[in-house]
Amino acid sequence: MELILKNIEQYKVAIEHEPLGDAGEVEQFRIKYLGTKGLIKSLMGEMKNVPADQKKTFGQVMNEFKTFVENKYEGAKSAITSEEKIGLNEDYTLPGREFPTGAHHPLTIIRNQVVFIFQRLGFTIANGPEIEDDWHNFGSMNMPENHPARDMQDTFYLSKGNENEQSFLLRTHTSSVQARVMESQKPPIRIICPGRVFRNETISARAHCFFHQVEGLYISEQVSFADLKQTLYFFVREMFGKDIKIRFRPSYFPFTEPSAEMDISCLICGGDGCNICKHTGWVEILGSGMVHPRVLENFQIDPNKYSGFAFGMGLERICQLKYRVNDLRLYSQNDLRFLKQFSGVV
């Protein structure tokens, strides 16, 4: 008891010297002395050790000490708030404080832009798993086992527990989401599927083992190739501006017939020829076509009644053209010097 009383005198001296210059220090003071784990609480806890005949005196001393601390705290608090109110501690000639803003990843920015454009045409977002089975990634997309077209996409297969198990893989394209949607929805279907895809490629400036695609699918009655062209034309003009030119080249994909790849005039050189467009003035941005009747049949959609178009584009390529990012590795290296350049871009 005696010791505690002596300590209290010392505490008082210490309290007189506590820094109470700003709101932060005042709060620290409150926590240290008046908080639930503060000094007052712990001293009060000593009450149980004080002999019965001294409890009253101890209580009085403690109450007096508590009021002392509280007064000190309240005084400091009101001084700070009134100073803040009249702005005494602000120097209005100083430059404003900078608020650090974060940045969206460039691929997120591009994905959002793409999604937004198609949403305005009535497309809704669909998603599917990154770990897929053979049927959704290949089989249903008209690429049966041993189909040579599987060679176009070097695949990461997951190892099987035993021979009879179904084989799983990392999806090589977002076309697998087409399969998922056709399986669960009836036409009319109008969806876009942004997502990550995986291929067994050696990592370099121009290839990576994962990248991002946006898939589109529209199935209804009397959908024509003209609809496909107009939809993509609208997209390209919204994305890259009114002066952009497009061209379709015949191509081959097992899940579309006819198939076409779409090029846009090179944004980097304006069509004059540079190393991005390999001196042709054109860059390929997507694959597309009319959904193959066999793909529709795989999902019990009658190809005599319904037709549809589909397309798939790589987001990294769009990003390269829009923001001139020429090395695919930059997207996944988390280098702040790269990422910070996109702060404020939405």
Rank residues 5 and 149 by Cβ distance to ligand DAH and give the closer one.
149
Q: Which is nearer to ligand DAH, 5 or 152 (CB)?
A: 152
Residues 231-290 interacting with ligand DAH (rule: CB under 6 A): 253, 256, 287-289
Strand partners, 284: 263
How far apart are the C-alpha atoms of 73 and 68, rounded to whole Å? 9
> What is the contact mask toward ligand DAH in residues 148 to 177, using x (rule: CB under 6 A)?
-------------------------x-x--
In whole angstroms, how close is the CB of 309 to ligand DAH at the nearest point?
7
Q: Measuring CA to CA, how many Å separate 68 from each of 35, 54, 164?
A: 15, 21, 80
* Least Å from the CB of residue 238 to ligand DAH: 20
| Residue with Cβ nearer ligand DAH (72 or 171) | 171
Least separation in angstroms between residue 167's CB and ligand DAH is 19
Please, what's the b/e burial string for 144-170 (b: 16 or more CB within 10 A of its CB; e: otherwise)? eeeeeebeebebeeeeeeeeeeeebbb
CB-nearer residue toward ligand DAH: 110 or 310: 310
Query: From the CB of 340, what's the least distance to ligand DAH, in Å?
Result: 31
Q: Are strands 256-265 and 246-253 parallel, antiparallel or unpaired?
A: antiparallel
**Measured from the CB atom, is 142 or 175 closer to ligand DAH?**
175
In the complex, the smallest distance separating the C-beta of residue 174 from ligand DAH, rounded to whole angstroms, is 7
User: What is the smallest separation between the CB atom of 159 and ligand DAH, expressed in angstroms?
Assistant: 24
123 within 8 A of 192, measured Cβ to Cβ: yes
Asked whether the beta carbons of 132 and 143 are under 8 A apart, the reply is no
Helices (H), 87-207: 106-120, 134-137, 175-184
* Identified binder of ligand DAH from the candidate list 134, 215, 263, 316, rule CB under 6 A: 215
- The beta strands (E) that lie in the chain are given as 124-125, 131-133, 168-170, 189-198, 210-220, 246-253, 256-265, 282-291, 307-314
Does residue number 211 form part of the binding site for ligand DAH (CB under 6 A)?
no
Site string for ligand DAH, 285-324 (x = CB under 6 A): --xxx--------------------xxx------------
Count of residues making up the chain: 346
DSSP tally for the chain: helices H, then strands E: 11, 9
Please, what is the minimum distance in Å from the beta carbon of residue 286 to ligand DAH?
A: 7
Report how many residues bind ligand DAH under the rule CB under 6 A. 11
Binding site for ligand DAH (CB under 6 A): 173, 175, 215, 253, 256, 287-289, 310-312
